[in-house]
Amino acid sequence: MKRYQALAEETAQRIRSGSLKPGDRLPSVREVRDLRGLSASTVFSAYYALESQGLVEARNRSGYYVTAHALAGTAEPGISAPQAKAMDVDVSALVFQVLTQARQRDMVPLGSAFPSPELFPFDKIARSLARAMRHMNPWQTVQDLSPGNLELRHQIALRYGLAGIDVPPSQIVVTNGAMEALNLCLDVVTQPGDVVAIETPAFYAALQALQRRRVRAVEVQTHPRTGVDLASLESVLDRHPVKACWFMPTFQNPMGCTMPDEAKAGLVGMLTQRGIPLIEDDVYGELYHGTRRPRPAKGWDTEGWVLHCSSFSKSLAPGYRVGWVSGGRFATQLGRLKLMSSLATALPSQLALQEFLGQQSFDRHLRALRDALRCQQASALRVIESHFPVGTRVTRPAGGYFLWVELPEEVDALELHRQALLQGVGVAPGHLFSCDQRYRHHLRINHGHPGDRRFEPALRLLGELAGRLVASRPTPASAQV
Amino acid sequence: MKRYQALAEETAQRIRSGSLKPGDRLPSVREVRDLRGLSASTVFSAYYALESQGLVEARNRSGYYVTAHALAGTAEPGISAPQAKAMDVDVSALVFQVLTQARQRDMVPLGSAFPSPELFPFDKIARSLARAMRHMNPWQTVQDLSPGNLELRHQIALRYGLAGIDVPPSQIVVTNGAMEALNLCLDVVTQPGDVVAIETPAFYAALQALQRRRVRAVEVQTHPRTGVDLASLESVLDRHPVKACWFMPTFQNPMGCTMPDEAKAGLVGMLTQRGIPLIEDDVYGELYHGTRRPRPAKGWDTEGWVLHCSSFSKSLAPGYRVGWVSGGRFATQLGRLKLMSSLATALPSQLALQEFLGQQSFDRHLRALRDALRCQQASALRVIESHFPVGTRVTRPAGGYFLWVELPEEVDALELHRQALLQGVGVAPGHLFSCDQRYRHHLRINHGHPGDRRFEPALRLLGELAGRLVASRPTPASAQV
């Protein structure tokens, strides 16, 4: 990261944390130059970057100020209200309908689960692939069955090491993307009929996995910025025979919330004490907007109760289907279940990534990717603040590529989804993110397509459609009169 | 296939079917030349080929005769005796032990489940892969999610078409190898606690899949040459609430048996009438020793009850992990379950095979592969006939790369496995192939490593070890006195 970027990010963090509030004046360029020993042009570049993100604005001759809408312009959604009972899960029909629509190439993909494939260095990875295949030993087709290619597992272990986490390659099982890793975890630590604790709202793929496994879900209160509420979790664990937790402690889907380090430590401590496995879905961890990767909950796992799942599908190589689980005390069982259920992860994919990761260009790519996603988040927030109806609330995640939008109660997100579809815009209605189709006036917005010029007009259109729905419907309260 | 090969194969088929018996004289070269309009050298080449396979021998001046051991030298094992009750399945520990040993590169792989990777055109496929990746559209990472790349599904449909079977691409789901396909099928057509009919002996991976799904298995009598016995199946279906059948009607693992066409037709008719899905594992179908691919049971499926699973892992591209299921009436459910459980099959692998299949060199490769496996089967049979203890019985499959050996009852195959391991030879003891570790004096022998010079000595060693076990042990009968 260049110096100006570091300064911009540091300042952005202070705005996000609230230590710099809307209307506050930033220190002058001269002040920063003298205090920090930076050149004036570095400080200017940082302030320009913050301005382009909509976080600060220049006022004539008097310097830079935090913008009114930097945080407070649109409020954050409230903390979620979990259902008290464990629920059977049945979400599939609606999810498949929405996913199918999202795959139509001509649809503006605001509802997609994926970042734009144009963000990834496919040419470079293909060169790694070609190189790796030239040196492939045919016997690797047998040797690299589950748990997977040893050199690749070693590379993955090195990345844990960079984050200060000690995971031996022997505890890593290479999988067909994180999705397979998560499903393997669920199958290893639960039986049909068991109860699993989840966030609310939760990623629909997690709900689908629970449905497939025929386990019941019990929801834990989840804050739109700080994630799983530990007091709520403790109460859930006291009341229900929870066999596992499935959480995304970092850049949760759909809200983008990240549990603070202390909360992650507390989470792992609480589960370790009770002997409850944590399935940690951490596929967005590399897509942070700040200066460093949030530490996964796995980083506090001393007893092997955390099954940490991730992949390269969102960070480097979509379509290659290379994910992994760092399985702690369950690693051997996971490797065997993988062997029984799909035998191996595609060898060309494993070798391509092993070769690419040996080259040090992963981090360069990641920096560019993070910048692109962060800037696009800023534009998305600007559009939402200026074009969505009064009363709209939105998250401001510190990473990933989703915004979680809470619209005024009168807006039925499914109706909005239908109207938007007719105009070529896909959205993910909030209905998808719980077992009982709550979150009826919520949307998940994908801002992971920075190269798509249709993005801002489509988002404006959504805001306008939502506004019309507000105007045309009685509020739920008046409807009951 | 060249003319001499066609003639050799036709004759071999007549020997296998019993219409030519040991000691029978083949028609003279002149007779065949005149009757069939072939050149004398073509007929000679055919007879030489049969001689090299040990099926015929030249006797001084009097012509070619079917050898004494061509069929009868070592008898065929008896038809299996199924257990009458449905059983819980628990086979994993032993299977993992054997599989782990088989992956050690220095072990002679007589116990392996895989053919030698040296039999496959990895360089050519890598060139197809490189070409495909140059033309890859990044958006395919989204479009080619489950059910998979349309062009590849079209190529697979074309291959069904060549076999006279009409399967539209829309019914095909591309999977992470046949193993994932089979597991998806099981998950779609059963619930935990259900009963599934299987062959006995059965492939241990099928048993593992049943164990994973927590369904119970009920065995159907299976003939070592003609496979599932329909009368036994009918009786099983009358007595048990069977929710699905999982069979390998062609080149079954481990026995190599193939159901005759009429039996396959009868099987599909019986199941269709009762509305019971057939999970058809057909991974070895392309590895026939005869003149044409045995028609899968899917070929008689008019109502969509057959879920036909296959892959390129045994025929073209091990390690690429490209399989598929042609799912009939369950195709949509299968595609969705794949989307939920592993999202997609690796795109580089899909594209490489799609590109390779477009080139027409698949069939040329297959011919060479089949020849290699057939010749190696003949040498394996010769070694078994001459070096295994009296009373040994063996199958003579018309395809694939497994022999199923029934040793004298005194031989404990697990003990033989342990002794062989110490001498660097892996085998698959019969214990692996049933829920209750029956088949205690049976072995599955892999003859799919024709380039491995250690093969014949290792097989001779096995025979000698077995002979010593016979000599050192009282027969089970005398032990009871």
Domain harbouring B61, CATH code: 1.10.10.10
A418 domain-assigned: yes
Candidates A119, A136, A141: best to mutate against B (most CBs of B within 10 A) is A141
Q: Which residues of B touch A188 (CB under 8 A)?
A: none
CB contact under 8 A, A209 and B340: yes
| Residue in B204, B342, B351, B449 to test binding to A, most A beta-carbons within 10 Å | B342
Residue A474: per-residue pLDDT: 66
Collapsing DSSP states into helix, strand and coil, what is residue A225? coil
Chain A segment 4-63 residues within 8 A of B by beta carbon are none
Same domain assignment for residues A350 and A385 = no
- For B5, residues 6+ apart whose C-beta sits below 8 A from its C-beta are B46, B49
Residue A465 included in any domain? yes
Residues on chain A touching B103 (C-beta within 8 angstroms)? 142-143, 145
ipTM confidence: 0.87
What's this model's pTM, rounded to 2 decimal places?
Answer: 0.87
The verdict on A321 touching B (C-beta cutoff 8 Å) is yes
Does A481 score more than 50 pLDDT?
no
Q: CB distance from A144 to chain B under 8 Å? A: yes
Question: Could you say which of A120, A341, A342 has the minimum Cβ distance to residue B138?
Answer: A120
Is the CB of residue B291 less than 8 Å away from at least one CB of chain A?
no
Question: Could you say which of B336, B362, B388 is where a domain stops?
Answer: B362
User: At A222, which CATH number?
Assistant: 3.40.640.10
Question: Does the distance separating the beta carbons of B345 and A319 come in below 8 Å?
Answer: no
Residue B331 counted as domain residue: yes
Question: Is residue A441 in a domain?
Answer: yes
Phi, psi (degrees; rounded to nearest 5) at B56: -130, 165
Question: B451 touching A, CB under 8 A?
Answer: no
Q: What is the reported pLDDT for B474? A: 66
B109 with B31, same domain: the answer is: no
Task: Assess B325–A contact: CB distance below 8 Å, yes or no.
Answer: no
B93 near A CB under 8 A: no
Asked whether the beta carbons of residue A138 and residue B144 sit closer than 8 angstroms, the reply is no
How close, in Å, is residue B337 to chain A by CA atoms?
Answer: 8
Query: What is the pLDDT of chain A when averaged over all its residues?
Result: 91
Distance from CA of B313 to the nearest CA of A (A): 10
What pLDDT digit, counting tens, does each position of A98-112 carry? Answer: 777 766 778 999 999
For residue A14, pLDDT over 90 is answered with no
Token digits of residue B437: 């570790």
Asked if B180 is an interface residue toward chain A (Cβ–Cβ < 8 A), one would say: yes
| CB of B193 less than 8 A from some CB of A | no
Radius of gyration of chain B (CA): 23
Burial A23-41 (b: 16+ CB within 10 A, else e): eeebeebeebbeeeebeee
Q: Which chain A residues touch B122 with a CB distance below 8 Å? A: 133, 136, 138
Residue B140's closest chain A neighbor by CA? A319
The answer, for A213 touching chain B at a CB cutoff of 8 Å, is no
Would you say residue A131 has pLDDT above 60? yes
How many distinct structural domains can be found in chain A?
3
Q: Is residue A10 very low, low, confident or very high in pLDDT (cuts 50, 70, 90)?
A: confident
Nearest CA-CA distance, residue B170 and chain A, Å? 15
Domain hosting B35: range is 3-66
Q: What is the largest CA-CA distance in chain A?
A: 74
Q: Look at B476 and A69; give whichever has higher pLDDT.
A: A69
Q: Provide the sign of the torsion angle of the four alpha carbons A228, A232, A235, A236, taken in this order.
A: negative
Q: What is the pLDDT of residue A22?
A: 79
Domain membership of residue B83 (yes or no) is: no
Q: Is the residue at A80 inside a domain?
A: no
Report the residue from B139, B177, B322 with minimal CB separation from A117: B139
A263 and A409 fall within a common domain: no
Query: Is residue A68 pLDDT above 70, yes or no?
Result: no
Q: What is the pLDDT of residue B195?
A: 97
Q: Are residues B324 and B403 in the same domain?
A: no
Q: Which residues contact A455 (CB under 8 A, 6 or more apart)?
A: A108, A110, A376, A379, A380, A447, A449
| Residues B475, B409 contacting (CB under 8 angstroms) | yes
The number of C-beta contacts closer than 8 angstroms across A and B is 175
Choosing from B338, B362, B386, the residue where a domain stops is B362
CB contact under 8 A, B209 and A344: no
Q: How confident is the model at residue A479 (pLDDT cuts 50, 70, 90)?
A: very low
Pairing of strands A278-281, A306-311: parallel
What's the pLDDT at A417?
93
What is the reported pLDDT for A243? Answer: 98
Q: Using one digit for the tens of pLDDT, what is the confidence trace for A371-401? A: 999 999 999 999 999 999 999 999 999 999 9
From B118, B179, B347, residue closest to A319, measured CB to CB: B347
Q: Identify the pLDDT of residue B247.
A: 98
- pLDDT, one tens digit per residue, over A334-361 is 999 999 999 999 999 999 999 999 888 9
Binary contact (B138, A130; C-beta < 8 A):
no
Residues A236 and A325 in one domain: yes
Q: How far apart are CA B387 and CA B159, in angstroms?
A: 41
The per-residue pLDDT for B71 is 53
Asked if B280 and B191 sit in the same domain, the reply is yes
pLDDT at B479: 44
Same domain, B97 and B217: no
B75 occurs within a structural domain: no
Per-residue b or e along B262-276, where b marks 16 or more CB atoms closer than 10 Å to that residue's CB: ebbebbbebbbeeeb
CATH number of the domain enclosing A399: 3.90.1150.10
pLDDT tens column, B123-154: 999 999 999 999 899 999 999 999 999 999 99
Q: Both A446 and A435 in a single domain?
A: yes
Q: Is the pLDDT of residue A315 over 50?
A: yes
Same domain flag for B398 and B475 = yes
B161 shares a domain with B239: yes
Residue at which a domain ends, from A362, A387, A413: A362
Is A321's CB within 8 Å of B345's CB?
Answer: yes
- In this complex, do A141 and B339 lie within 8 Å of one another by their Cβ atoms? no
B320/A346 touch (CB, cutoff 8 Å), yes or no: yes
Q: Are residues A141 and A60 in the same domain?
A: no
Q: Would you state the structure tokens that stand for residue A225, as one six-digit string? A: 């910025």
Instruction: Report the percent of chain A where pLDDT is more than 90.
Output: 72
The neighbour count for residue B45, using CB atoms within 10 Å, is 18
Lowest mean pLDDT among A194-198, A283-287, B47-51: B47-51
- Whether residue A41 is contained in a domain is answered as yes
Are residues B113 and B138 both part of a single domain?
A: no
**Three-class secondary structure of residue A97 per DSSP:** helix
Residue type, A279: I
Ordered alpha helix ranges (H), B249-361 = 261-274, 331-341, 347-357
Which residues of chain A neighbour B355 with C-beta distances below 8 Å?
Answer: none
Looking at beta carbons, which residues of chain B come within 8 Å of A341?
179-180, 183, 209, 212
Q: Which residues does chain B have with pLDDT short of 50? A: 478-481
